[in-house]
Chain A
């Protein structure tokens, strides 16, 4: 059973690579939708009211599985200096958000993506998703698109990952 699952995962990984290699043009292509078809790589959509309220008013609601637990810990601990802003979170809210982030962090999600993220960060504690070496590498060909007004910045995942909020980062549509 387990061997079967491993074999299936391996096939999915190989297929994923083949698809990425085959559709590499997506990185420079502007508006075609690409579905790598490898939904093993995606996340389950998770939600928490406090997290949505406090975090998504300002920025994209990053899935907790995109960073290790220690990164979320560092971010919440430093929430009074959050990229130049004091988030003014009370203790109860901080604790609730951190609890949610930690129980759904990259270590806990166990998907192909989160495993790649964990391997890629090594012992570092990235405080930005775009500081994860594997994620940087995956975006090397779309770097220029980040500056487009339709995208805004690299922190606006949803501009291209149109189904990212559902946990599906494989569907990519880079706007003009």
Chain B
């Protein structure tokens, strides 16, 4: 009995440590699970998300683009849109409203992945990105 309990505690501890999305609400965790299933992986990487955020890619319009073009190199800072409008920080630590509404998150990923990458992002890219934005 005692053994069973400690095994359960160990399992629970393992689950908590593996679940890096404790900052996310239930709906957002649902979105992450969806991305995990689609990507066929168990966990996303904030480190990969950080690289993804900073990587500059040559756009067919002949200019380099990255997430940081508008959001600056540090997502905890305010950014600026291409026409100069201020963007509130992307990092959840600076802006509690970020990454709370899956519908909004998916729409913005679609909008901005196309602007930067000229394609939709892969489920892994999306998961890594969200993990980076909610842990920095």
| Contact in complex: B111, A88 (CB < 8 Å) | yes
Indicate if B114 sits at the interface (CB-CB under 8 A): yes
| Contact in complex: A155, B114 (CB < 8 Å) | no
Taken together as a complex, chains A and B put the C-alpha atoms of A87 and B108 apart, in Å, by 8
| 0/1 interface trace, chain B 41-75, chain A, CB 8 Å (1 if under) | 00000000000000000000100000000000000
* CB interface residues, A 149-166, toward B, < 8 Å: 151-153, 155-156
| Contact in complex: B85, A59 (CB < 8 Å) | yes
Interface size on A, residues (CB 8 A): 16
Interface size on B, residues (CB 8 A): 13
* CB interface residues, B 59-114, toward A, < 8 Å: 61, 81-85, 87, 107-108, 110-111, 114
Indicate if A138 sits at the interface (CB-CB under 8 A): no
| Contact in complex: B111, A59 (CB < 8 Å) | no
| 0/1 interface trace, chain A 78-112, chain B, CB 8 Å (1 if under) | 00000011111010000000000000000000000
* CB interface residues, A 46-95, toward B, < 8 Å: 56-60, 84-88, 90
Give min CB distance, A13 to chain B, whole Å: 32
Majority secondary structure of chain A interface residues (helix, strand, loop or mixed): loop
Q: Interface residues, chain B, CB within 8 Å of chain A?
A: 61, 81-85, 87, 107-108, 110-111, 114-115
Give min CB distance, B103 to chain A, whole Å: 9
Which residues on the A side are within 8 Å of B83 (C-beta)? 58-60, 152-153, 155-156
Taken together as a complex, chains A and B put the C-alpha atoms of A90 and B104 apart, in Å, by 11
Give min CB distance, B68 to chain A, whole Å: 17
Which residues on the B side are within 8 Å of A56 (C-beta)? 85
Which residues on the B side are within 8 Å of A58 (C-beta)? 81-83, 85
Which residues on the B side are within 8 Å of A87 (C-beta)? 111
Other CB < 8 Å A-B pairs besides A60-B85, A85-B115, A86-B115, 16 of them? A57-B87, A58-B81, A58-B83, A59-B81, A59-B83, A59-B85, A60-B83, A84-B61, A84-B115, A86-B110, A86-B114, A87-B111, A152-B84, A153-B83, A153-B84, A156-B83
